[in-house]
Structure 1
Amino acid sequence: MLELLLALWPLFALIVAGYYLRRWEFPNEAFWPGAERLNYFMLFPALLFSSLASAPLDNPALPRLALAVMLGLGFGWLALLLLRRLRGWSAGRFGAFTQGALRFNTYLGLAAIGSLFGQEGLTLAALMLALMVPTVNVLSVWSLTAERGVSARSLLLPVLKNPLILACLGGVLLNLSGLGLPGGSDRLLGLLAAASLPLGLLCVGAALKPEQLGGEIPALAWNSVLRLLAMPLLAWAVAYGLNLPAMESSVLVLFFALPTAPTAYVLTRQLGGDSQLMAGLITLQTLLAAASLPLLLTLVTA
């Protein structure tokens, strides 16, 4: 437990720092949107691309890991569809609840995995992201537009234009080509990647909205329990059933235990969902994850 706390507390310290820096208007309000765009379109794709370009794609555990990812997301999605049928949620609320339960804070996840498992863990995480990012994006868009219908083009186009997905695809293709990263390009990508996670965690903190926590406490609470407790336990059960190796199991559980992504707020607002509920879910889950992540990882690695 102490080892996990020592690995994770600096990550949450950066999140807290980002929250207070924005509240203190340092450097200024215009900095944070630009920092988020820089990270999303350049620094973070560099991390994913370089990790996948050198990933050992012949790892015999990868097919089972891919199956575990899809089973975990599939069971979670079916549970949400059942809840929607029972509760009669509108698309706006269903979209927020779906993203609260299925989306994940990628910056926090990769920073935690890097601290705990090093480059080998980051490589596994990048391979998982190649599956999880497009799947979760499609489910999020569909859930937010379920009532008014959505064409295949409008559903898939944002996914195909996503820089994280393009970076994953490019890294895998380069890996399969056998060309590698010649001429110092590996060092260039390494420098870009090194800046991504600290800046991403600061931006996560800057996006927190504690003022949104005073509204729908029951809805915020049950969705946070689903995301931070039920989903990682489901992932652990799937990993156990598929007999995944220890590191693959831990990385899978950690990704399913992450709080939802801050970018879910932007998507919810753009597609007419309940953005206030979404902001509350992002804030509460991020705050609770400081306690839930060390506890869950201690249990599953014991």
Structure 2
Amino acid sequence: MLPLLTALWPLFALIVGGLALRRLDFPGEAFWPAAERLNYFLLFPALLFSSLASAPLDNPALPRLAAAVMLGLGLGWVGLLLVRRLRGWSAARFGAFTQGLLRFNTYLGLAAIGSLFGTQGLTLAALMLALMVPTVNLMSVWALTAERGVSGRALLLPVAKNPLILACLAGALVNLAGFGLGGGIDRLLGLLAAASLPLGLLCVGAALRPRELTGELPALGWNCALRLLAMPLLGYAVARLLDLPALESSVLVLFFALPTAPTAYVLTRQLGGDSQLMAALITLQTLLAALSLPLLLALLG
């Protein structure tokens, strides 16, 4: 338990630091949107590109890892659809609940995996992101627009323009083509990647909205319990079912145990979802994850 806490507490310290800095209005309100854009469009894609460009794509465990990712997400999606039919949720609420259950905080996930499992873990995480990011984005857009319908172009366009997905695809293509990252390119990407995770965690903290944690307590409670407890247990069961190796199992469970992504708030607001509910889910899940992540990982070994 102590090694887990040692690896994870600095990550949550950065999140709390981001929240404190924004409350103190330092370095200014205009800084945080600019920092998020810099990280989202440049620094974080550099991390994913460099990880996938050097990843062992011929690893025989990859098909099982891909099957585990898609099976876990698929079971969660089917469960949401069934509950929506029973409860009669509007698309505005269904979209928020879907993102609360299936989306994940990529910055926190990669920072935790890097702290716990090093470069090998980050490589596996980048491979998983290449599958999970487009899948959960498609599910989220469809959920938020389920009532009014949406064209195939409108559904796929946010996915096709996502810089994280483009970076994953570019890194995989460079890898498969056999191009190296010599001539200092690997060093440049490494410097950009090193800046990504701490800045991302500060931005996660700055995006939290504690004032939104009023009302909706039953909905917040069950969604947080499913995201932070039931989903990682589902990931563990899928990993055991498919007989994944220990490292792949650990990375899969950790991704399924992460709180939802702060960017879910922006997508929810843009597509007319319940943005207040989404903000509350992001805030509460992120705060509770400081307790649930180390406890769950310790229990699952």
Alignment of 1:35-54 (within 5 A): 35-54=35-54
Cα deviation, residue 300, structure 1: 1.5
C-alpha distance in 2, partners of 1:276/1:142? Answer: 19
Summarize deviations over 1:245-265 as a string: whole Å, max 9, x none. Answer: 000000000000000000000
Q: Kindly provide the CA deviation profile for residues 184-222 of structure 1, in whole angstroms up to 9, marking residues without a partner as x.
A: 100000000000000000000000000000121000000
Instruction: Give the Cα separation in 2 of the matches to 1:61 and 1:178.
Output: 21
State the alpha-carbon separation in 2 of the partners of residues 134 and 270 from structure 1: 18
Q: In structure 2, what residue type is equivalent to 1:66?
A: A
SS of match in other structure, 1:214: coil
| Shift, 1:180, TM fit | 1.3
Unaligned runs of 5+ in 2: none
Which letter maps to 2:75?
F
List structure 1 runs of 4+ shifted beyond 2 angstroms: none
2:200 match? 200
* 3-state SS of 1:133 partner: helix
1:12-51 pair list within 5 angstroms: 12-51=12-51
Secondary structure of the 2:223 match is: helix
> Quick check: 1:237 aligned with 2:237?
yes
Structure 1 position 154 matched with structure 2 position 164: no
1:189 alignment partner AA:
L
Extract unaligned runs of 5+ from structure 1.
Answer: none
Q: How does 1:92-111 map to 2 (within 5 A)?
A: 92-111=92-111
Please list, as runs of the form range in 1=range in 2, the aligned pairs for 1:123-202 lying within 5 A after superposition.
123-202=123-202
Deviations 1:140-166 (A, max 9, x none): 000000000000000001100100000
State the percentage of identical aligned residues.
83
Match of 2:277 in 1: 277
Q: Partners in 2 of 1:51 and 1:141 — Cα distance?
A: 27
Cα distance in 1 for partners of 2:121, 2:57 equals 14
SS in 2 for 1:180: coil
Q: Which amino acid aligns with 1:54?
A: S
In the alignment, which residue of structure 1 is the partner of 2:116? Answer: 116
CA displacement, residues 50-83 of structure 1 (integer Å, 9 cap, x when unaligned): 0000001111111000000000000000000011
Which residue matches 1:268?
A: 268
| Cα root mean square deviation, aligned | 0.4
User: 2:260 aligns to what SS in structure 1?
Assistant: coil
Please give the TM-score of this superposition, normalised by the length of structure 1.
0.99
2: CA distance, partners of 1:130 / 1:55: 12
Distance in 1, matches of 2:61 and 2:229, equals 25
TM-score (norm 2): 1.00
Partner of 2:292: 292
Aligned equivalents of 1:215, 1:134: Cα separation in 2: 32
